[in-house]
Structure 1
Amino acid sequence: MNPNYQVRLGKWLSEGWTMLRQEWAAWTGISALTFIPAGFVYIMIQMLIGRSLQIGPNESLTDYFLRSMESSFAVNMLTQFAMVFIIAFFMGGAFRAAFRQIQGESISVSDAFSGVDIYVSVLVAMLSVSLFSMIGSMLCLFPGLIAQGLLYYVVPMVVRENLPPLEALKKSFETTKSDWVMYTVLWIVTQVLAFLGILLCGIGIFITAPLIVTTTAAAYRDCFEIKTEEPISRVDALYSKSCIRCGASIDVRASFCDKCGASQV
């Protein structure tokens, strides 16, 4: 872990957006592969459960309301966990694509299938995060959001470091606990920005949703993969900047990184 890293919401969101913009076709394809089947499962569950929520001939409105509330909670739990099984299949590949892009490599839609070998680990990790978030949300909304912030690095740790899910949970918690407010805010902002695509007739989510992965990958790189012996001085900060892909220190006026060759525009 980089001992001198700082939580930089603006920097990570900016880099995540730049990554998305540079490889928009690949990311849109990966996103479509992920969310189309997940959306289909969501619709099917809602349709099947919806039929059972019709008011009975001798049922009062109060009883129907209470039954609907209980069923809605169960449906939301079932739907969320069912969708995780599908999304996890592509999430490993999505993060591997993001890390490849950070290293200056090109990516393609086929990268979505590159995480098949770690599917079980990613699935367990995502189910664990969802479970902790759900338990927190049952107590109050904010504990659920905080849980997402504290466990921000679980999935990329499983993908990048091949950590067992339990160890990834512990390591993410230890990493983020001192900055839990900032990581919670980062998670919320990323989710909101990513799902703004729904406003574009729904299909816009395929373009914006990958921001979740690209931003997280940029944050992970700064936190765990950039090694610095001592903090950057204020003078150095005026004349240098970090490459948007590999994180190397380059001249502030540079249009390309002299380490990986990535464009900085």
Structure 2
Amino acid sequence: MSYAGPPPQSPYGAPQPFGPPGFSATNAIGYGWRKFTEHLGTMLLIAVLILGLSVAISTGFSLLSTILGLPVSSNPFDQPRALDSALLSAQMVLSVVESILITVVSVFLQAAAYKGALLIVDGRTPSLGDLFQGWDKGKLIATMIVVWLVIFAGTILCIIPGIIAAFLLTLAPLFAVDNLGGSITDPLKRSYELVKNNIGQMLLLWLLTFLITIAGLCLCGVGLLVALPVVWLGQAYTARVLEGRPVAP
């Protein structure tokens, strides 16, 4: 009696999965949630600082406008009476200063959040002081300006290119903190390469990040105290895994 042998195998072997084995967007979010619960105090503190300072700055400028007798809105069509041009100009200046201050503070605090997330993913428990060390503040601002300009230029070109640019550069702010001594454009290149080479999972991660953030906003904004840290940790995990670097279990 004869038996059939095993079926012939392709000389090239079985097809390999695209991207690093074991990575998925859902795993990244799940990892982010697990690490958030393990480092609840640190990540909540960062989220409270970011949201709290932004609200405090806006409230402070509104109070200053009231004290100076300036209108709350800088839009002349929103005013119930004719405005003196000097008052309107003063209000517009205050609005610009407020926007710049909130942006700069948010950028630095988000960088601190990414630093904390990277340290946690690397297996460390960061202190508050650790969050503001080990990254170049000047390079961070320069990198973010380049990112904003690229996205703005794309948005002018019928909006769609701006959305594509924002997607491809989604990890650039994180890489601006984890710059490894490179130039101000290196974070953009690293983000572009990782996203381009893992389009499917990165699209899913982008969608999940958007939905988690919206869910946090819907819960009267308080949900952002949970949503934002989970997103930061998930992105840090993604960057490490897709670059083939180890992550804490």
Deviation at 1:31?
1.2
Alignment CA distance shift 1:29-1:9 (3 Å)? same
Cα deviation, residue 89, structure 1: 1.6
Letter in 2 for 1:11: N
1:209-220 superposed matches below 5 A: 209-220=228-239
The CA deviation string for residues 27-76 of structure 1, in whole angstroms up to 9 with x for no partner, is 01011112222233455678968533234768xxxxxxxxxxxx9xxx7x
Structure 1 letter corresponding to 2:122? Q
Among candidates 129, 136, 152, match of residue 134 of structure 1: 152
Kindly indicate whether residue 189 of structure 2 is the aligned counterpart of residue 173 of structure 1.
no
Instruction: Give the structure 1 partner of residue 27 of structure 2.
Output: 11
Aligned pairs (5 A) from 1:80-229: 82-114=101-133, 117-160=135-178, 161-180=180-199, 182-226=201-245
Whether contact under 8 Å (1:81, 1:127) holds in the other structure is no
- CA shift, 1:98, in A, is 1.6
Look up the equivalent residue of 1:145 and give its one-letter code. I
User: Which of 1 and 2 has higher RCO (CA within 8 Å, sep 6+)?
Assistant: 2
2:42 aligns with 26
Cα-to-partner distance string for 1:117-145 (whole Å, 9 max, x where unaligned): 52222222223223322333344444333
In structure 1, distance between residues paired with 2:28 and 2:184 = 24
**Partner of 1:162: helix, strand, or coil?**
coil
Return the offset for 1:222.
0.6
Tell me the amino acid that sits aligned with residue 55 of structure 2. Answer: G
Q: Are residues 144 and 87 of structure 1, via their aligned partners in 2, closer, same or farther at CA, if it must alter by over 3 Å?
A: same
TM-score norm. by structure 1 comes to 0.65
> Residues 152 and 40 of structure 1: is their aligned pair in 2 closer, same or farther, counting only changes over 3 Å?
same
CA 1:177–1:83 in structure 2 vs 1: closer, same or farther (change >3 Å)? farther
Larger gyration radius, structure 1 or structure 2: 2
CA distance in 2, matches of 1:29, 1:196: 20
102-111 or 39-48, which deviates more: 39-48
C-alpha displacement of 1:215: 1.0
CA contact (8 A) 2:32 2:237 kept: yes
**TM-score if structure 2 supplies the norm length?**
0.69
> Does the 8 Å CA contact 2:147/2:169 hold for their aligned counterparts?
yes
Distance 1:46 1:185, change over 3 A: farther
Secondary structure of the residue aligned to 1:165 is coil
State whether structure 2 residue 58 is matched by structure 1 residue 39.
Answer: no
User: Is contact 1:197-1:203 (8 Å) kept?
Assistant: yes
Structure 2 vs 1, CA of residues 147 and 180 (structure 1 numbering), >3 Å: closer, same or farther? farther
Question: Which residue of the partner structure matches residue 254 of structure 1?
Answer: none
Superposed displacement of residue 223, structure 1:
1.2
- What runs of 5+ residues in structure 2 fail to find an aligned partner? 1-17, 66-70, 83-91
| Distance in 1 between residues matched to 2:60 and 2:204, nearest whole Å | 33
Contact 2:115 2:132 in 1 (8 A): no
CA distance in 2, matches of 1:140, 1:46: 35
Higher deviation after alignment, 171-180 or 85-94 = 171-180
